[in-house]
């Protein structure tokens, strides 16, 4: 899966979790940009991303991700391996 496709799919996951069909994400998007994205919703988001991309984040990745760009990078890296 290339970066474009990953971003498109990831956008759908965000829209689903935050129940906002207009939500758009970019590399710089952080939890501060999305009102409903608190530490509790973060858990649902991570779980939904893992299901959508059929992968698992390591604990270090979950606690270390600073913005959506880092999440996309991790997903791209995993996609290469498979």
Partner 1 sequence: MISELCFPFDSDKIMSSKKKLLRLLKEHESGGVPLRIAVLGGSTTSDIIKVLELFLRNRGIVPSFYESEYAQYWSDAVFGTPELDEFKPELVFIHTCSRNIEEKPTVGEDGKSVAEKLEREYARYEKMWTALSEKFGCVIIQNNFEMPSERLLGNREVGCAYGRIDFITRLNCKFYDYAQSHNNFYIHDINYLSAAYGLERWHELRHWHLYKYAMSVSAIPEFAYSLSNIICSVMGKNKKVLALDLDNTLWGGVIGDDGQSGIEIGSETSEGQSYLRLQKYVKAHKELGVLLTVCSKNDPENALEGLNHPDGVLKPSDFALIKANWNEKSLNLEETAQELNLLPESFVFVDDNPVECDIVKAQTPEIVTINFENPEECIRAIDKCGYFEVTNLSADDAKRGEMYAANAQRAAAEKKFASYDDFLASLEMSAVIGEFDPVHIPRITQLTNKSNQFNCTTKRYTQTEMEAVAASPDYIRLCGRLTDKFGDNGIVSVVIGEKRGSELHIDLWLMSCRVLKRGMEYAMINRLVEEAAKAGITEIFGYYYPTKKNAMVSKLYEDFGFAQVSDDNGNTVWRLEVTGYSPKKIFIDIKENENG
CA-to-CA dists, residue 70 to 13, 19, 53, 61, angstroms? 16, 23, 15, 9
Rule CB under 8 A: say whether 44 interacts with partner 1. yes
Stretch in the footprint of partner 1 (CB under 8 A) among 1-9, 15-23, 25-33, 67-75: 15-23
Q: Residues 60 to 79: which contact partner 1 by CB under 8 A? A: 62-63
Minimum gap (Å) between residue 45 Cβ and partner 1: 8
The C-alpha angle with vertex 31 and arms to 30 and 34, in degrees rounded to 5, equals 100
Axis-axis angle for helices 3-17, 68-81 (nearest 10): 130
Which residues of this chain interact with partner 1, rule CB under 8 A? 13, 16-19, 36, 40, 43-44, 47-48, 51, 56, 59, 62-63
């Amino acid at each position: 899966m290339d970066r474009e496709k990953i971003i498109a799919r990831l956008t759908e996951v965000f829209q689903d979790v935050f129940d906002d069909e207009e939500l758009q994400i970019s590399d710089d998007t952080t939890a501060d940009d999305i009102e409903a994205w608190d530490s509790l919703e973060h858990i649902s988001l991570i779980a939904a991303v893992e299901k959508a991309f059929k992968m698992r984040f390591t604990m270090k990745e979950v606690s270390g991700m600073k913005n959506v760009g880092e999440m996309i990078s991790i997903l791209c890296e995993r996609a290469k391996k498979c």
